[in-house]
Structure 1
């Protein structure tokens, strides 16, 4: 079973989704825990399909000894048809999800909103999972993926979110270009993902690196591991900086920022297969803002918690 990475939305796990962690479920970067868990579940489904095909072939062979040539041909055709039906390259899972994330980076308040938990892939090549609206694994193998995706980042900030933000202006969420790579060895997965703002929302660039260890136990899959997020100067100025104009309008002191480590975090995810078609998962990223992000006059709380829970029906 492939070990999952974190589900993330944008630059923080809002992290799985992205996994990767991953999933920024707002944070940050990557194939999600849900993605890798889905790949593992896909492998199990493929194994089930192989068993079913083998069973159909055995039944056909047993009947051949007493059948006519016409019956033999019909049996072979039925076995071929069954194999084709069970070897579909499509993996489809849909269901409801809920996201719990800080109202804005550094906020004490949490916000909760529903989220469609999509888990769709074709031949482990094209996928739509979590905040990754559409992605492609340009390079892939049994243990690695390298690719790109169009990802939607929910991370934003409105002046109406808190009286302290008056005069700072709004920061909108939007689409980002995601470049990612992951590699799995035994029960361990390392991943890196870059998010680039392509909507002109001044969210700049973030890069998240994560390391996850996974352990399947019966129908359960447990994953846990550390990571950190780096952000460029554009990102830190947008979310944590205070310019002279903003200071005059808000009353907050001016605050200059630069590129650096935004946060360090710990990812955790639990997935459970209720049946052949149903599974549920809960992923969380526990983070601590660092350096310019932690010391900003905008920041009320250094500790961040981003959580995603979902239930999926697999076709």
Structure 2
């Protein structure tokens, strides 16, 4: 790969961090899309500014919940504030710190949040299943960029919900810079795989005896394992030295007991996120 355009990606990598309008679990975007480019910025740019601040507004067009047919528009703030290579506040990644940070490798911890699943989001499909209330999540994550000549970035995270399902959920993903990037444009693409423990999977995709009586769905036990596989693309345009337009999209396919759940109406879903931000 030509190192000159890759170096430009290093300059622009921070444009793509944390631009999703809302972070939620189940997350309609791949987890790597909330921090895409950050590790490459560390790889290509040895000097990181003390402060990197981006504020704006965004919106997502996404399913009301995993496996349901109905979509909705979800507007919200877009925020990404980073101090040196130490700490961050982001609508995508949450509030966190980098415990270890090197040019190729980053390990950190954060508190993010789960928006839950209100039953009234889709009364017909969710009636009788009860609410999954919003709750914070404790998260640990790691990312690794292979090399400047082949800047594939790997990312893994695991989150413990402190409420909501009280379960564990995590992601494994990877992304690469794509050809065509310039001093005013950068884009990345890659796959992701999401998994959950039995408590998480049962709350979102299972049907207890009580829920079965209230909803009419057959009783169903969901198991721990892979929840979905997906592929995403994230892109950012530097319209002026301060104004950024960001767009992300992903397609996800439910797997295993999530796909077989009686609640699931469709197995393949897509989401598009659009944000306009001001970079200070």
TM, length-normalised to structure 2: 0.84
Partner Cα separation in structure 2 for residue 160 and residue 275 of structure 1: 38
- 2:212 pairs with 1:239: no
Give yes or no for contact 2:227–2:258 (8 Å, CA) kept in 1. yes
- 2:214 pairs with 1:263: no
Offset of 1:173 from its aligned partner?
Answer: 2.4
Return 305-314 or 262-271, whichever deviates more: 305-314
- Kindly report which structure 2 residues correspond to 1:174-193, keeping only aligned pairs within 5 A, or say none: 174-185=135-146, 186=148, 187-193=151-157
Offset of 1:256 from its aligned partner?
Answer: 0.8
Q: What residue number does 1:21 align with?
A: 33
Q: What residue number does 1:104 align with?
A: 65
Offset of 1:153 from its aligned partner?
Answer: 2.4
Partner Cα separation in structure 2 for residue 12 and residue 164 of structure 1: 17
Q: What residue number does 1:64 align with?
A: none
Offset of 1:11 from its aligned partner?
Answer: 3.9
Counterparts in 2 of 1:244 and 1:281: CA distance versus 1, 3 Å: same
Q: 2:159 aligns with which of 192, 195, 204?
A: 195
TM, length-normalised to structure 1: 0.75
Aligned residues: 260
Q: 1:217 aligns with which of 159, 177, 181?
A: 181
Q: What residue number does 2:5 align with?
A: none
SS of the equivalent of 2:33 reads: coil
Partner Cα separation in structure 1 for residue 181 and residue 26 of structure 2: 28
Per residue, is there more strand in 1 or in 2? 2
Give yes or no for contact 2:39–2:105 (8 Å, CA) kept in 1. no
Cα root mean square deviation, aligned: 2.5
**What residue ranges of structure 1 are gaps of 5+ in the alignment?**
23-31, 47-86
Offset of 1:113 from its aligned partner?
Answer: 1.8
**What residue ranges of structure 2 are gaps of 5+ in the alignment?**
1-8
Q: 1:9 aligns with which of 8, 14, 23?
A: 23
Partner Cα separation in structure 2 for residue 127 and residue 278 of structure 1: 20
Give yes or no for contact 1:160–1:166 (8 Å, CA) kept in 2. no
- Kindly report which structure 2 residues correspond to 1:1-315, keeping only aligned pairs within 5 A, or say none: 1-2=9-10, 9-15=23-29, 18=31, 20-22=32-34, 32-33=35-36, 35=38, 39=41, 43=45, 89-159=50-120, 161-185=122-146, 186=148, 187-198=151-162, 200-215=163-178, 217-218=181-182, 219-315=184-280
Partner Cα separation in structure 1 for residue 215 and residue 156 of structure 2: 37
Per residue, is there more helix in 1 or in 2? 1
State which structure, 1 or 2, has the greater radius of gyration over its C-alpha atoms: 1
Counterparts in 2 of 1:14 and 1:34: CA distance versus 1, 3 Å: farther
Q: Which runs of 4+ in 1 moved over 4 A?
A: 2-8, 34-37
Partner Cα separation in structure 2 for residue 208 and residue 138 of structure 1: 19
Partner Cα separation in structure 2 for residue 309 and residue 43 of structure 1: 27
Offset of 1:101 from its aligned partner?
Answer: 1.9
